[in-house]
Structure 1
């Protein structure tokens, strides 16, 4: 039978917590503005297409 090598897992070296916080803040801001944009489009469609 074939031999199976042991698995090696790569881990990140260091912890860039400040970059993590900036990325999360960007994600939440885009999610908020995206949601508000979709809501505004739906309201405008309701007004003009009714």
Structure 2
């Protein structure tokens, strides 16, 4: 990631925040998002296929 070159206390607090991030939790959340996205897309495709079959 890009680093702040301005220095000072603000940059130090940003670095502290970056180190405190829980990457395992971020990856788990992203995995859950992808699962919902995949099944939502599959559901929409099935609904559209059924609509095309029964409503024509």
| 3-state SS, counterpart of residue 19 of structure 1 | helix
Runs of at least 5 residues in structure 2 that lack an aligned partner in the other structure: 1-9
| 3-state SS, counterpart of residue 47 of structure 1 | helix
Runs of at least 5 residues in structure 1 that lack an aligned partner in the other structure: 1-7
Matched residue count: 43
Q: Which has the higher contact order (CA 8 A, sep 6+)?
A: 2
| 3-state SS, counterpart of residue 15 of structure 1 | coil
TM-score where L is the length of structure 2: 0.66
Q: Which structure is higher in helix share?
A: 2
